[in-house]
Chain A
Amino acid sequence: MKKLALFAIIVLIFGTISPSLVNHAYGQNDPSILLRIAVQADEQIVNQLNGIYENKIPNNIEILYEKGHLSVESLNESLSNDDIEKAKQDFLLAMNSFMQISRIISQSSEKVVVVTVSEKSNRNISSEIDRLEKYVKSLENISKKYDVNVESNFIKIHALIQELRVEINNVNKVHTGIKEIKIILDSIKNDIRESASKHKSDFIKRFLDRLLDKITNQLIMAEDNGVDQTQISKASELILEIRELLSQNQINGAKVIFSELKELMKNIGYPVRIT
């Protein structure tokens, strides 16, 4: 029995520690990934420097580049020696140097414009169409789940998307097309919502029923543990009220009362959560 207990303790200790080990393992299945990225960055920095400064590279940048490049060489050596820890340090050092250089370059370039991608004018039309198409596909899959009769709308959208791709250089036409697609999508979403409401009601009813049973059991426990009787009575009344609303199909009302019940359960020290 002692051996069994010892074994179980070891297993448990290892089980507790092992996830943290995995997190720090940086599972570089192939450590050469670090070298690939660093070399690519090195070459890219050289290209940028040649393009901007030709042979007149500022001293501070040159020092930084030298530091970065030497770190890449050291990274290569560390990997050859299977010294992964050293390789990680070299990688971070190299990438940090290249990052500093690229930021200096971008700040000192002639017209420095800091662009916020969130501004619509800065978005790329082709990318916007790609994203819209992805969104359309998501809604198309959902609509099939609900048996909504919107197939013709989707056919129309797909045709419009094809058209927009052909007319990609005609910015005005593309913007008008995107607006048109969004209007059709709004109509599809409304249809889906309508159809979903029935499914959702059944779903929520089942969910609340299950949860109310659980809360009732918790209240019995709370009563045994001497929780204030008035609070327990209030909770029981709320449960009855929710059940009544559910039977009348008043889902939204039931949801509101449920939030109140949830708060009350939290206050008496029996929060509604999985046990």
Chain B
Amino acid sequence: MTSLIEPIQLKNPLGDDGILFVRNDSIFDTMVKIPLLLASMIIVAALLPIQSSFSSPRDLDLIIYPDGTTHVSIEIDVDPFSTDYELNLFGNTIDNLVVIGDDEFLLEFDIIDNFALIQTFGSSVITIEYDIHDLVSKQGKLWTFSLDSPSNFTLLLPQNSAIVGMTNLPINMEIHNDQNQLTLSSGSTEIDYFFTTTITSNPILDTKTETDYFSYVIVGVIIVIILIGITIFTRSKQKNSNSIEQTLTSQKNLILDVETIFALKPDLREDDKELVKFIFKNGGEALESELRKKFLQPRTTMWRAVKRLEREGVIKIEKKDLQNLVKLRKNMEEEE
């Protein structure tokens, strides 16, 4: 019955020299609460981008008009617990300033020098649009655009303008309606441009000889012929078994024409109708990025518009190569 109380040190005797050893393996487990440590680190890591994302433009798009006036369009994530937000306007000659908060509500603002103090009152995303006359200067025939941007931005140059100097590396360049649109990184940028009537349409230099081109063309043609052959062969095999089925589905898949869609959805907004018309003309589907480029809208504005149309049952959104493919619904009436 009498159970001996055995001292712990007898169960785990010390080393020969009587030195207290602490095993390396166990110190991590015993001294530090690993799950707690991990959880806290993950939380910190998750919060970092959120913290840094507040007050930094999500989208910054600029359009330079032929007279040098620039239209600025900004979307910013703001702290929904703040009452106001101070925005650097990049200058003080501002026109046509509109600030819109969540749900497209108009927000009030005061302009103090180069800054606009916007009363956000709980909005988490604000959109600011204005025209500014301070970003472009002209000397002789040379126009110079200068901006110290807090984030990456897109810049649509006027028609018939040719860049003759820049201080920053462009991230991307696209052509929209004969206008160059550059994507530039944050920081200070200066771009010099002239207006001209002799811009080369395909200015890419290539030092390869014509013989090189010819050999590439031959190889390309052979590859295309092989691919077409494979496709025809595969299709001809499937054709017989699928032909009846395909006829039935193709009849079903006919998309509704624009007028029918508008008749079924009379409350669609005018700008949304323009989107529907474009998608219809584009064969009933378009990438969201294509819509943004066509209508020159910031990412989130277009996303909201697309979401609206999806809610209305006019379109459906599918993923294609990590992009949103917007498709007109084929049987709207049935689904309603």
Do B171 and A37 touch across chains, with their CB atoms under 8 A apart?
Answer: no
Q: Which of B143-190 contact A (CB under 8 A)?
A: 162-167, 169-173, 185, 190
User: A8: which B residues are within 8 A, CB to CB?
Assistant: 38, 41-42
Give the CA-CA distance A28 to B184 in the complex, in Å.
10
| Known A106-B142, A145-B105; contact A41-B163, beta-carbon cutoff 8 A | yes
Give the CA-CA distance A55 to B305 in the complex, in Å.
57
Give the CA-CA distance A255 to B66 in the complex, in Å.
43
User: B165: which A residues are within 8 A, CB to CB?
Assistant: 41, 95-96, 98-100, 102-103
Give the CA-CA distance A19 to B60 in the complex, in Å.
19
Chain B minimum-CB-distance residue to A26: B169
Q: Among B54, B108, B196, B203, point to the contact of A39 (Cβ < 8 A).
A: B203
Main secondary structure on chain A at its contact with chain B? Answer: helix
User: B48: which A residues are within 8 A, CB to CB?
Assistant: 16
| Known A28-B171, A28-B172; contact A1-B34, beta-carbon cutoff 8 A | yes
Q: In the complex, how many angstroms separate the beta carbon of A226 from the nearest chain B beta carbon?
A: 25
Do A47 and B141 touch across chains, with their CB atoms under 8 A apart?
Answer: no
Is B205 an interface residue, CB under 8 A from the partner? yes
| Known A33-B173, A192-B106; contact A134-B164, beta-carbon cutoff 8 A | no
Interface residues of A, CB < 8 Å — how many? Answer: 96
| Known A95-B167, A127-B69, A196-B106; contact A109-B203, beta-carbon cutoff 8 A | no
Give the CA-CA distance A100 to B165 in the complex, in Å.
8
Do B142 and A262 touch across chains, with their CB atoms under 8 A apart?
Answer: no
Chain B minimum-CB-distance residue to A111: B140
Do B83 and A214 touch across chains, with their CB atoms under 8 A apart?
Answer: no
Q: Which of A1-17 contact B (CB under 8 A)?
A: 1-2, 4-5, 8-9, 12, 15-16
Is A62 an interface residue, CB under 8 A from the partner? no
User: A95: which B residues are within 8 A, CB to CB?
Assistant: 163, 165-167
User: B220: which A residues are within 8 A, CB to CB?
Assistant: none
Contact indicator per residue, chain A 121-140, by CB within 8 Å of chain B (1) or not (0): 01110111011101101111
Give the CA-CA distance A106 to B138 in the complex, in Å.
9
User: B104: which A residues are within 8 A, CB to CB?
Assistant: 141-142, 145
How big is the B interface, by class?
35 or more
Do B41 and A12 touch across chains, with their CB atoms under 8 A apart?
Answer: yes
Do A4 and B172 touch across chains, with their CB atoms under 8 A apart?
Answer: no
User: A106: which B residues are within 8 A, CB to CB?
Assistant: 139-142
Do B81 and A44 touch across chains, with their CB atoms under 8 A apart?
Answer: no
User: A44: which B residues are within 8 A, CB to CB?
Assistant: 162-164, 194, 196, 199
Give the CA-CA distance A44 to B170 in the complex, in Å.
19
Give the CA-CA distance A114 to B207 in the complex, in Å.
40
User: A272: which B residues are within 8 A, CB to CB?
Assistant: 81-82
Do B95 and A131 touch across chains, with their CB atoms under 8 A apart?
Answer: yes
Give the CA-CA distance A269 to B261 in the complex, in Å.
57
Do A131 and B173 touch across chains, with their CB atoms under 8 A apart?
Answer: no
Is B317 an interface residue, CB under 8 A from the partner? no
Give the CA-CA distance A254 to B154 in the complex, in Å.
40
Give the CA-CA distance A41 to B165 in the complex, in Å.
7
Which stretch (B128-136, B225-233, B235-243, B279-287) binds chain A? B128-136
Q: Among A1, A39, A115, A139, point to the contact of B138 (Cβ < 8 A).
A: A115
Q: Among B108, B167, B198, point to the contact of A99 (Cβ < 8 A).
A: B167
Q: In the complex, how many angstroms separate the beta carbon of B116 from the nearest chain A beta carbon?
A: 16
19 contacts between A and B (CB under 8 A): A26-B185, A33-B173, A48-B194, A95-B165, A98-B164, A106-B139, A107-B140, A117-B67, A117-B138, A128-B69, A131-B65, A134-B71, A135-B96, A138-B96, A145-B105, A193-B106, A203-B105, A203-B121, A204-B122
Give A residues with C-beta under 8 Å from B: 1-2, 4-5, 8-9, 12, 15-16, 19, 23, 26-30, 32-37, 39-41, 43-45, 47-48, 72, 76-77, 80, 88, 91-92, 95-96, 98-103, 105-107, 109, 111-118, 122-124, 126-128, 130-132, 134-135, 137-142, 144-146, 192-193, 196, 199-200, 203-204, 206-207, 210-211, 214, 255, 258-259, 262, 272-274
